[in-house]
Amino acid sequence: MNRLKYIGGTLCRMLTLLAAVSVLSFALVALSPIDPLTAYIGTNSTLSQEAKDAIAEHWGLNDPPAKRFLAWAGNFLKGDWGTSIAFKKPVKTVIGERFSYSVALMLIAWIFSGTLGFLAGVFAAVKKGSLWDKIIKTFCLALQSAPTFWVGLLVLSLFAVRLGWFPIGLAAPMGKLAQDVTLGERIYHLILPSLTLGVLGISKITLYARQKLIEILSSDFILFAKARGENISQLVWRHGMRNIALPAVTVQFAAFSELFGGIALAESVFSYPGIGSALTAAGLSGDVPLLLGIAVFSAIFVFAGNLMANILYGLLDPRIKEGRANG
Amino acid sequence: MEEKQEKMALLDVQKLRVSFDMYERGLQKKELEVLHELSLRVYPGEILAVAGASGSGKSILAHAVMGILPGNARTEGEIRYRGELLDRKRQESIRGKEIAFIPQSVEYLDPLMRVDRQVMGIRGAKEKQETAFARYHLGKEVERMYPFQLSGGMARRVLISTAVMEEARLIVADEPTPGLNAEMAMETLQNFRELADEGCGVLLITHDIDLAFQAADRIAVFYAGTIVEIASVADFLAGKEALRHPYSKAFIDALPQNDFKPIEGFQPYAGNLPKGCLFAPRCPMRSGECEKEIAMRKIRDGEVRCVHAT
């Protein structure tokens, strides 16, 4: 019963969120100077005014915004997400293709930032007040305040241009047919962009793990464990990790939103053909259907991240799991 | 009593001072002394209750013995365990083995670790844990519970069972009874009595004087960060004439079962202590002598820190 209620409530929240996101994005696009017609035919088109009017009439561009929104939303629900102007393909296909590239990138960055950040945070907390702690903290704060594209350019100029260790961009070697690209080459092209993206996500989780562990280490049960003979590494391994792992995982799942935001810039800098650069391209070329499609898609993605965090918490935290069974 | 004095004390605390470094407005460092020249001894087989008002720093004493004071604390004076100096190194090597700490509440258990593993600790064996649970009537089902699932009484017994996992000789119990009903509190005390009868020394820190009357062999009266009198429970039960320090006498008078007469004024704050005797400002017997340094002295089988005591 409780579970049904939870699932129902979650679905409800997701639907209202999606409705709100689509209304808001649609309103923003409608208010923006983007003219879908110009975006479609180009600025120096030789098309006559009558022909333009006919297209506008056919597309329903003269209808009031509410009616246009309902037409778009109705089609969207039926599975017709429209056709991307920039890519000349259905929006769904574009998102699908592009996301399959991005997902590897995001996954690597996410795992990389999660593990390294967590360990760095734990290390800093254990060595609280030491030089190492200060270095880690300063590094995190610097990263936190650095813009993604700038870090991306820095990484690019160091590792790709100066050192020449990694390719300067794209997802595969230039001039090679898609079917000839090897997995190794793909991974090789993934390293720099995922490193950039990961490094940007690292500071949040590091600072969080550090703060949380310091908090835990000053709690009463640590005092008692110490009084029972545990030394600092036993305290950290037996009690510290146990108590910070779950909240840290939650924070990392909640960071899905930043991951999506970061990917738009990171992919642009590295000309990586993922969903982030598709978003940039859509924005630059006034590709309204793709913009809206990605907006809704990103909302689902972020929502899924938070949902996973919630579910994990319920499954792993005994206070919730067994508390529910008892209550 | 004489016989007892000849036995070597299990725990011997002499002139213990504990102070904390605090930062005041700006970055001015200030030292706040919370324990002053505190001396006491715990002998094997006895329960010494340290009784005093809540928030007067009694727990600091327990933490100092265990060596778990926070980093900004500084200690002076001597703590000896079985004649040997109990320094940081020695504390680290024997705590949890020879010296067991029993904390106040379930808050001192890791909320995410099952009770059995927690009681076992770092060196405990499963069988020992089972024996301890059987001894304190904890059912099999308690083993798999998390601290939040324990009732007050269960939590109490779980905490006590941690103390019997190893052969502890000295048990330091910090406020073991608040939140328990009278029956549970009695049971807890009974447990301490058993441990003492087995030869352990128990340092029982409490704000509940009735509890101290029922459980302890001797009571140390704690006032404003020091101990003003140590006497046998018999002296306390005999009434104020048998006691030595004006505070202990006034304290007895203030009990609901006696005159219920409050003592004027309040305990001085650690940052703002009077010179000499800490009780002097509230004492009916105060004189010029009270402003000098007062040492602990022996009177009639007890110890007292007062120049007027007889």
CB A296 within 8 A of CB A22: yes
Q: What is the pLDDT averaged over residues B277-295?
A: 86
Neighboring chain A residues of B66 at a CB cutoff of 8 Å? 226-227
Sheet holding B99-102: strands in order across?
A: B99-102, B170-174, B201-206, B47-51, B218-223, B226-232, B302-304, B297-299
More confident residue, A27 or A42: A27
Q: Report the candidate in B100, B144, B153, B98 with the shortest Cα–Cα distance to residue B118.
A: B144
B23: left (phi > 0), else alpha (psi -120 to 50), else beta?
beta
Residue percentage of chain A with pLDDT more than 90: 29
Tokens of A10: 């979650």
CB B203 within 8 A of CB B133: no
Give A166-218 pLDDT, tens digit per residue: 887 777 777 777 777 778 888 888 888 888 888 888 999 999 999 999 999 99
Minimal Cβ distance to A318: which of B103, B109, B112:
B112
Residue A320 touches partner B, C-beta closer than 8 Å: no
Q: What is the pLDDT averaged over residues A51-76?
A: 83
Supply the ipTM of this predicted assembly: 0.88
Buried b (16+ CB within 10 A) or exposed e, B110-128: bbbbbbbebbbbeebeeeb
Q: What's residue B61's pLDDT?
A: 94
CA distance B274 to B279: 8
Residue A60 touches partner B, C-beta closer than 8 Å: no
Interface test with A, best of B92, B98, B101, B108 (most A CBs within 10 A): B108
DSSP 3-state of A270? coil
∠ CA B160-B164-B165, rounded to 5°: 115
Q: Is B45 exposed, middle or buried (0-12, 13-18, 19+ CB in 10 A)?
A: middle
Name every residue whose Cβ is closer than 8 Å to that of residue A320 and which is 6 or more positions away in sequence: A313, A314
Q: Which domains does chain A have, with CATH numbers?
A: 2-78 (no CATH), 91-326 (1.10.3720.10)
Q: Report the candidate in A84, B33, A312, B138 with the shortest Cα–Cα distance to residue B130.
A: B138
B32: left (phi > 0), else alpha (psi -120 to 50), else beta?
beta
Least reliable range by pLDDT among A202-206, A295-299, B23-27, B202-206 = B23-27
**Residue B95 has what DSSP assignment?**
B
Q: What's residue A324's pLDDT?
A: 60
Q: What is the pLDDT averaged over residues B60-73?
A: 92
Q: Locate the chain A residue with the closest alpha carbon to B168.
A: A228
* B1 pLDDT higher than 50: no
Average pLDDT, chain A: 86
CB A188 within 8 A of CB A173: no
Q: What's residue A323's pLDDT?
A: 66
CA distance B220 to A88: 88
Give B6-47 pLDDT, tens digit per residue: 578 999 999 999 999 888 777 788 888 999 999 999 999 999
- In order, the DSSP letters of B232-261 are EHHHHHH-GGG--SHHHHHHHHHSTTTT--
Query: What's the distance, CA B224 to chain centroid?
Result: 14
Name every residue whose Cβ is closer than 8 Å to that of residue A95 and which is 6 or more positions away in sequence: A81, A275, A278, A290, A293, A294, A297
Residue B107 touches partner A, C-beta closer than 8 Å: yes
Average pLDDT, chain B: 88
> Across the A/B interface, how many CB contacts are shorter than 8 Å?
72
- In order, the DSSP letters of A181-229 are --HHHHHHHHHHHHHHHHHHHHHHHHHHHHHHHHHHHTSHHHHHHHHTT
- Partner residues linked to B76 by β-bridges: B17
CA distance A250 to A115: 13
Residue A145 touches partner B, C-beta closer than 8 Å: no
Interface test with A, best of B91, B98, B107, B112 (most A CBs within 10 A): B112
* A327 pLDDT higher than 60: no
More confident residue, A277 or B310: A277
Which DSSP helix (H) or strand (E) runs through B75? strand B73-81
Query: What's the distance, CA A304 to chain centroid?
Result: 11
Q: How far is B101 from chain A (nearest CA, A)?
A: 6
Q: What's residue A114's pLDDT?
A: 93
Give A223-276 pLDDT, tens digit per residue: 999 999 999 999 999 999 989 988 898 889 888 888 888 888 888 888 888 898
DSSP 3-state of B18? strand
* B4 pLDDT higher than 60: no
* A314 pLDDT higher than 90: no
**How many alpha carbons lie under 13 Å from residue B60 in its C-beta half-sphere?**
27
Give B145-187 pLDDT, tens digit per residue: 999 999 888 998 899 899 988 889 999 999 887 777 788 788 8
CA distance B165 to B150: 20
* B2 pLDDT higher than 50: no
Tokens of B148: 């939040």
Q: What's residue B138's pLDDT?
A: 92
Q: Locate the chain B residue with the closest alpha carbon to A233.
A: B122
CA distance B134 to B154: 12
Residue B256 phi/psi, 5-degree rounding, is -60, -35
* A35 pLDDT higher than 80: no
- Partner residues linked to B31 by β-bridges: B21
CA distance B239 to B47: 20
Confidence category of residue A326, pLDDT binned at 50, 70, 90: low
Q: What's residue B105's pLDDT?
A: 86
Homologous superfamily assigned to B2-98+167-304: P-loop containing nucleotide triphosphate hydrolases (3.40.50.300)
